[in-house]
A = this chain, B = another copy of it.
Amino acid sequence: MWTYQAPVADMLHVLVQVLDAPAQWATLPAHAELDADTAAQVLSEAGRFASQVLAPLNAGGDRVGCRWSPQGVVTPPGFREAWAAYVQGGWPALAAAPEDGGQGLPAALNMPLNEMIAAANHGWTMYPGLLHGACEVVRHDAVPELRARYLAPLVSGQWLATMCLTEPQAGSDLGQVRTRAELVAGQPAANGAPLRISGSKVFISGGEHDLSDNIVHLVLCRLPGAGAGSKGLSLALVPKILPDGQRNAVHCDGIEHKMGIHGSATCQMRFEQAEGWLIGEPHRGLAAMFRMMNSARLHVAMQGLGHLEAATQNAWRYAAGRVQMRAPSQPPGASPEQGGDPIAWHPAMRRLLLGLRARTDAARVVALRCAMLLDEAAQHPDATRRAAAAGQVAILTPVAKAFFTELGHRGADDALQAWGGYGFVAEYGIEQTVRDSRIAMIYEGTNEIQAIDLVLRKLLDDGGQRAGVLIDELAAEAVLCRTDAALQPFAEALDAQLDAWRQALAALLTGRDGDAEYPLRVADDMLAGVGHALLAWAWARIARCSANPARAPAPGGRSAQDWLDAARHGIDWLLPQAQVHWARVGRRGAVLPHLARVAV
């Protein structure tokens, strides 16, 4: 049966030994008092919550799902109690600023928390999924009166929040949003202005539920006289329960029946002259929304990693216990007479298992490196360092969102194969991971939208400068690996990836003139290429750490050799895939034929 044990030892090894996070914390005033022991305590506690409270609710959440009635949405058994316990434990406020009532811990601890809760129970994790982003928006963009009323209960998790963007005709294209915001008579259109909101939204995660008494909706809408397209959008804060305790005119008309995350209520929402307030300047709603979205994208990236981890550990466990046929290499202690060996010893399964492990390790190193950059961007005393870190996060965010969610879903789908026919049977649970993980490739901007964001806005916008800085920084790892003969293959693999990245960037920068479709045509490959380059960097970093006795994993976890084996498998068996992506980026001439048939 599917289980989930939070990989706390692996996370700590990556943070402390591979990435040296404690040394970074010492340079950031806000985290100067944090050390490895405290980090271990926090992650162990979070791991216990994920493994012991959330994971046992996962299968039931899928089977029972949410139930809708005109009176509201009932979440699956145990979800409400788990949320209360999560709030009680102070988890929603882990990374929030102390002045807002938070614990002020770094993203480097909050992102592993997000990985764990998503891996343990993706459906449940949807409810707080947008909370951190909503807090950011209220904190930065709301007028003091609204901030005073809404920030503290959102930070603590007493209330939950939604992001109301999508409408039936406005998915990837938010410029098509039609929800109207009217000004209350006599009030000027300024930040904080009271509004009446009318319109319909779809795919609103947690639009209605029974976990919290109030739900704060952040609604993308149009003020009177707003221009067409995305530049005419404003953002409104619309609570389910008004300050006077009355129910606002916010209705949930139904929930979707979905492929997965059945425990998450995906709501059709109707606003009928609902009361709300403008958040941020008029017609500047999209900018505020992006603040929320960037945070949400990293959260989704961690869902991808979480699914990959869950798939990996379940596949290893099942394959170690399932005996079928003799393997060509026998496991230690196998008797010549026994009828079969664990399938983990059959070469096809060993490849599968090592491939899952190699991806999980490397993706986690990249994710936590990204978290450390977030912390540096937020807390470093040097403004130049803050800006540089922010520039790297800007590149890493769409890559992590798209590449990790793809790794998570494909990894789960690959892992299912280890179970044979049992993998297709609901009670074994891996098929739920396959279904749940699929949505992460779509929401918060489809993976194709992430690729366009990466290529147009993050790589080409500044002539490739920001990317050049990131590539140089990654190349430093190859230089360090070259000092040890045993690490040469890792140095070479990484350098090859970074060279390919530089060449692809150059090809795009020159080739886009006169062929506007070119960057769009190869954006998905560019993202996949960059994703592989980041994995190559992570495998090199893991290998260098494994070669250093002073950075040995803590006893009780995996051995240094184990980490090295997986990293070596990564560069030998997985990295060659990158070549296909880089080659496609480089082939400028392969235009796409017109789809004349589509137009008829």
Contacts and interface: CB of A to CB of B under 8 A. Distances in A.
A171 B584 CA distance: 41
Interface in A384-413: 409, 413
Contact of A172 (B324, B416, B435, B583): B324
Interface stretch (A14-22, A87-95, A276-284, A329-337): A329-337
Contacts of A121: none
A439 interface: yes
Interface string A480-493: 00000000000000
A202 B439 CA distance: 32
A136 interface: no
B331 A599 contact: yes
A325 interface: yes
A574 B160 CA distance: 45
Contact of A421 (B166, B339, B353, B569): B166
A197 interface: no
A425 interface: yes
Q: How many of these chains are in the complex?
A: 2
B413 A442 contact: no
A320 interface: yes
Contact of A175 (B339, B353, B426): B339
A307 to B, nearest CB: 14
Interface in A556-582: 558, 562, 565, 568-569, 572-573, 576-577, 579-580
A427 to B, nearest CB: 7
Interface in A137-154: none
Interface string A422-449: 0111110001001100110111001110
Given A259-B434, A598-B319, A348 B451 contact: yes
B517 A347 contact: yes
A247 interface: no
Contacts of A597: 316, 558, 562
A351 B417 contact: no
A595 interface: yes
B325 A173 contact: yes
B354 A592 contact: yes
A257 interface: yes
A306 interface: no
A348 B576 contact: no
A452 B346 CA distance: 11
Contact of A259 (B332, B435, B573, B583): B435
Contacts of A257: 425-427
Contacts of A342: 598-599
Q: Categorize the interface residue count of chain A.
A: 35 or more
Interface stretch (A35-43, A99-107, A208-216, A518-526): A518-526
A417 B340 contact: no
A596 interface: yes
Contacts of A594: 329
A133 interface: no
A529 to B, nearest CB: 13
Contact of A520 (B228, B260, B328, B580): B328
Contact of A438 (B340, B434, B587, B599): B434
A464 B372 CA distance: 54
> Which residue, A228, A256, A329, A599, has most C-beta atoms of chain B within 10 A?
A599
A549 B468 CA distance: 52
Given A347-B592, A592-B569, A203 B421 contact: yes
Given A417-B448, A420-B446, A568-B593, A346 B580 contact: no
Interface in A321-366: 323-325, 328-329, 331-333, 339-340, 342, 344-351, 353-354
Contacts of A354: 592-593, 595
Nearest to A325: B173
30 contacts: A166-B421, A171-B324, A172-B325, A173-B340, A256-B426, A258-B425, A259-B434, A259-B435, A260-B424, A328-B516, A328-B517, A329-B594, A344-B598, A345-B598, A346-B520, A347-B520, A348-B451, A348-B521, A348-B523, A348-B524, A350-B595, A354-B595, A413-B438, A416-B438, A417-B446, A420-B446, A423-B442, A562-B597, A572-B590, A577-B580
